[in-house]
Amino acid sequence: MILNHLWGLYAHPKEEWHTIDARHESFRYSLIHILLVALIPSFCAYYSAVHIGWSIGVGEPIRLTAESAMMLCVAMYFALIGGVFALAYLAHWMAHTFGSEPTYTQTLELASYTSTPLFMVGFAALFPELWFVMLVGLAGLAYSVYLLYVGVPILMHIPEERGFIYASSVVTTGLILLVCVMTATAILWSSGFGPAFTH
């Protein structure tokens, strides 16, 4: 069943990683997981931007036009999926340095399941208060990093000490990817692809 590891990653992450390792799913399975979970932040962001409005402190909530919000959310959806694939590629490339020989599908599993809590943060957008979304986002990021540190030694079959350094390297590359996406967004917005607000 698609998404069948979702509850386990929250309830008993270490045991769930062992389950994932014991029966590696296909590339298609990981792809479907990413495609489904990435819908959460995209859909919730669209709904809140068009129908609720974002509150960033004082003043009226900020809303976007439906067309503008749709364009941004579709771009976000593909950026999230691309980010997971890029992280999986970098994790696969770095694995050999740490004495592991995973398949790309294994590193895709690692990237997709560790990014799941970050994608689930998308539900927070249904209460579009900036402070609330940032707090939930930090909690999601912290849990994603925790899942990565727990999962790397199990999934990559390397000792915990080496797994810690490997996971730290993956976290660093993930942060670099995030900065690259944010930079690209800023460049696109300043080039005339910014959102259109409703009055």
Q: What is the DSSP annotation of 145-198?
A: HHHHHHHHHHHHT--HHHHHHHHHHHHHHHHHHHHHHHHHHHHHIIIII---B-
User: How many domains is the chain partitioned into structurally?
Assistant: 1
DSSP 8-class letter at 168: H
Average the pLDDT over 129-148 and give the result.
92
In a domain, 60, yes or no: yes
* Closest to 21 (Cα-Cα) out of 3, 10, 5, 7: 5
In a domain, 117, yes or no: yes
In a domain, 199, yes or no: no
In a domain, 5, yes or no: no
In a domain, 141, yes or no: yes
In a domain, 27, yes or no: yes
pLDDT digits 0-9 by tens, 51-83? 988 887 777 888 888 888 898 889 889 999 999
Enclosing domain of residue 49: 13-193
In a domain, 179, yes or no: yes
Average the pLDDT over 139-165 and give the result.
91
In a domain, 6, yes or no: no
Residues 159, 162, 164: CA angle, nearest 5 degrees: 105
The yes-or-no verdict on residue 165 having pLDDT over 70 is yes
Measure the CA–CA gap between 74 and 80, rounded to whole angstroms: 10
Instruction: Say what the pLDDT of residue 115 is.
Output: 92
